[in-house]
Structure 1
Amino acid sequence: MVDFASLPIPVVPYSPTCGRDVGLAMATLGELIERVSRDFLAAPHRLDFHQIMLVTKGTGRYSVDSGPFPCRPGTLVWTRPNQVVQSFPRPHMDAEIIMFTEAFPLRMSARTGMLDDVLRASHWQLSHHELRSFRRVVDLLHVEFQRPDDGRGEEVLKHLLAVALLRIDQMCRLRHKDTAAPALSDKNDELFLRFRRELDRSFHSTRLVEDYAAALNCSPRALSRACRAVADTSAKDLIDARVALEARRLLAHTDLPISAIARQLGFSEATNFGKFFTRRVSMSPGAFRQSEKARKQP
């Protein structure tokens, strides 16, 4: 079995070169480009930290886990650790960038914590109101990051980062305000977090909600209720999304035959895998692989 984490895709460590020696750093895209070549940014690579980027001017393209999208002023991008990213900024594109380690943020509820899950959305185009609201928080973060530390600076940064993450959560909830979701509870939070850990362990071997419920010692209905409450979707959709993500990664970054990828992901027949992948990604595995090869060509 090919382990995605072991693939020869460069991993960028968290190593801020300016500001405080804490788990959060800020920079502009222009400053990063001065230190990292455009060729490196355009090639597939991974970060071992979180990066939130708010485009302030210019245009370009970005890709997260083989999902390309355009960037323009007001585009907000959240790259999570170990996601495969590529960046194609045009000459005059710039952005405010917040980088932070997995351990830096304050502890939040499972629903808010779900924002940093690789199965969730990675980019948004902010409205004028959303941009103005989020930009105020970014400006406060920047001022505090530049301020000489008086002994309380790290705690202030943690709380301001929490405000930024809560703003993103609020934006996502308002955009889906017509979606009915069960009420949040500590019980749903805890069950959902256990499910996500179990899903990362077991998605190669089963796609059945009943199997995950049995592993978690709960009923399928209770598991689905927790997923609806926290992630606003079904347990089955999350399972299939995790399998599809791994399939995209293996198709894009390995030369494994499609039949071998199908077996690795628990499909007994390549044709069944092809139907599953086409339903989730809207193209066949072979067409997806060809599109990725074409996109990587200079």
Structure 2
Amino acid sequence: MNAGAGISTYALYREEPSVSDPEFFHIEDIKSRARLFNWSISVHSHPRMYQLVYVRSGRVRARVDGREYDTEGPCLFTIPSSVVHGFEFERDTTLGYVITLSRVLLADDQFRGGSDVPEELRNGAQLIHLQGRESEQQFIDQTMQQLVNEYRNNEPGKQKLFEHLLFSLLIKLGRYLEVPGDPRSQDHYGKRYQQLCELIEKYYRDHRPCQYYADALCTTPIGLNRACKAVSGKSVGDLIQDRLALEAQRMLIYSSAPVSLIAYELGFSDPAYFSRFFKRRVGASPSTFRDHRENH
């Protein structure tokens, strides 16, 4: 466990990261893991792991990236790396699976077969409801069972077939998130937007300007902003500030660090400026935001 910033980080919940993490994939049923912890998985994160949490049946209360959900299966949560999350499952009745894989594997072109997993699915925490989608749920159930079989059996080609099955599942889920539009423009802008998001994830604490990201992606600030607005409706500056505000909210909710320390951790040299920035983006001061979350 890594207790940095007060948020527990694990490879799997309550398991230490392994030196083999970059090649890691894992699947298990919810019951096997949840009953070890009284059906309550406290908030934590996986810095290098991506998870799919499939609740086939039963009720679940979830905290994902500062949001709270109270729903029932069938549904599926996507949990990108470093997203803080926790679950309370309905005791003894919840059925489903948790898939964990390395984010390196998810980004690998060979694994993805030359196709892009939608950016919203890769980098955004999603709740996908499956009620009333019998054919989709049947596909997911069958694919999950095949994944379990491949994971448990040491047959020739195990890893390749597991990856193939997993990617087919991600394609199916990605269809729920696609937005109609011109395919060529979407493909071009979507790829550039995805590359930008990956760079922002690395450097958002450095407060680098739009010109830096444009240079890194061999384009101009105007072209980069055009791609961002086509995909997300936001500018490059908005995306950087959104990422800073999101991380600030995570740290305020899940750690007891002073506001001044959080400001310095996020690259602000002046805590007062950080407080103004936070209030402008979130609508409340950091201390008011933290107090409100602790009392609700």
CA contact (8 A) 1:51 1:97 kept: yes
> How far apart, in 1, do the equivalents of 2:224 and 2:121 lie?
19
AA of the residue aligned to 1:139: Q
1:160 equivalent to 2:159? Answer no
Q: 1:281 to 1:57 in 2, by over 3 A?
A: farther
Structure 2 match to 1:55: 55
The CA distance in 1 between the partners of 2:137 and 2:58, in whole Å, is 19
Instruction: Show CA shifts across 1:178-224 (max 9, x none).
Output: 79993313x862x4454234313332242743443245442112212
Task: Provide the C-alpha distance between the structure 2 equivalents of 1:232 and 1:158, rounded to a whole number of angstroms.
Answer: 33
Deviates more, 1:52-61 or 1:163-172: 52-61
- 2:103 alignment partner, SS class: coil
Q: CA deviation at 1:144?
A: 4.5
Tell me which residue corresponds to 1:242: 243
Alignment-derived partner of residue 32 in structure 1: 33
Query: 101, 112, 119: which one pairs with 2:118?
Result: 112
Identity over the aligned pairs, expressed in percent? 22
1:290 Cα offset (Å): 1.7
TM (normalized to structure 2)?
A: 0.76
Give the number of aligned pairs: 277
Superposed CA deviations along residues 232-270 of structure 1, whole A, max 9, x for unmatched, are 754334222211121112212333433453455455766
Q: Distance in 2 between matches of 1:257 and 1:274?
A: 12
Counterpart code for 1:46: S
Q: Name the SS for the 1:292 alignment partner.
A: helix
Amino acid at match of 1:13: A
Q: Which amino acid in 2 is paired with 1:142?
A: Q
Amino acid of the structure 2 residue aligned with 1:137? I
CA contact (8 A) 1:78 1:122 kept: yes
Q: 1:73 to 1:178 in 2, by over 3 A?
A: farther
Paired residue for 1:182, among 180, 185, 190?
185
Alignment of 1:253-272 (within 5 A): 253-262=254-263, 264-266=265-267
Offset from partner CA, 1:63-113 (integer Å, 9 cap, x none): 122222223113211112222212122323333322223344413545625
The 3-state SS of whatever aligns with 2:118 is helix
8 Å CA contact retained: 2:44, 2:86 = yes
Judge conservation of contact 1:134–1:164 (CA < 8 Å) in 2.
Answer: no
Secondary structure, counterpart of 2:170 in structure 1 = helix
Q: Is the 8 A contact 1:110 1:230 kept in 2?
A: no
Question: Does the aligned pair in 1 maintain the 2:206–2:267 contact within 8 Å?
Answer: yes
Secondary structure of the structure 2 residue equivalent to 1:161:
helix
Q: Closer, same or farther in 2 for the Cα pair 1:94/1:51, shift >3 Å?
A: same
1:162 shift after superposition: 0.6
Among candidates 137, 151, 159, match of residue 156 of structure 2? 151
Unaligned segments of structure 2, at least 5 residues: 16-22
Quick check: 1:126 aligned with 2:130?
A: yes
Q: RMSD of aligned C-alpha atoms?
A: 3.4
2:60–2:90 Cα contact (<8 Å) kept:
yes
Amino acid at match of 2:167: A
Moved runs in structure 1, 4+ residues, more than 6 A? 178-181
215 and 291 in structure 1: CA distance in 2 versus 1, 3 angstrom threshold: same
SS of equivalent residue, structure 1 residue 78: strand
Give the Cα separation in 2 of the matches to 1:30 and 1:116.
26
What SS does the aligned partner of 1:151 have? coil
- The match for 2:140 is 137
2: CA distance between counterparts of 1:179 and 1:292?
Answer: 41
Scaled by the length of structure 1, what TM-score is found? Answer: 0.75
CA distance in 2, matches of 1:28, 1:204: 37
Q: What is the distance in 2 between the residues matched to 1:270 and 1:179?
A: 44
Q: Single out whichever of 275-284 and 47-56 deviates more from structure 2.
A: 275-284
Structure 1 position 154, deviation (Å): 2.1
Whole-Å separation in 2 of the counterparts to 1:156 and 1:121? 26
- Deviation at residue 135 of structure 1 after TM alignment: 4.0
Query: Does the 8 Å CA contact 2:59/2:94 hold for their aligned counterparts?
Result: yes
Q: Who is 1:90 aligned against?
A: 90
Deviation of 1:54 after TM superposition, in Å, equals 1.9
How far the C-alpha of 1:62 sits from its partner, in A, is: 0.7
The residue type paired with residue 162 of structure 1 is F
CA distance 1:276–1:93, change in 2 (3 Å): farther
In the superposition, relative to structure 1, how do residues 207 and 287 fare at CA in structure 2: closer, same or farther (>3 Å)? farther
Residue 66 of structure 1 corresponds to: 66
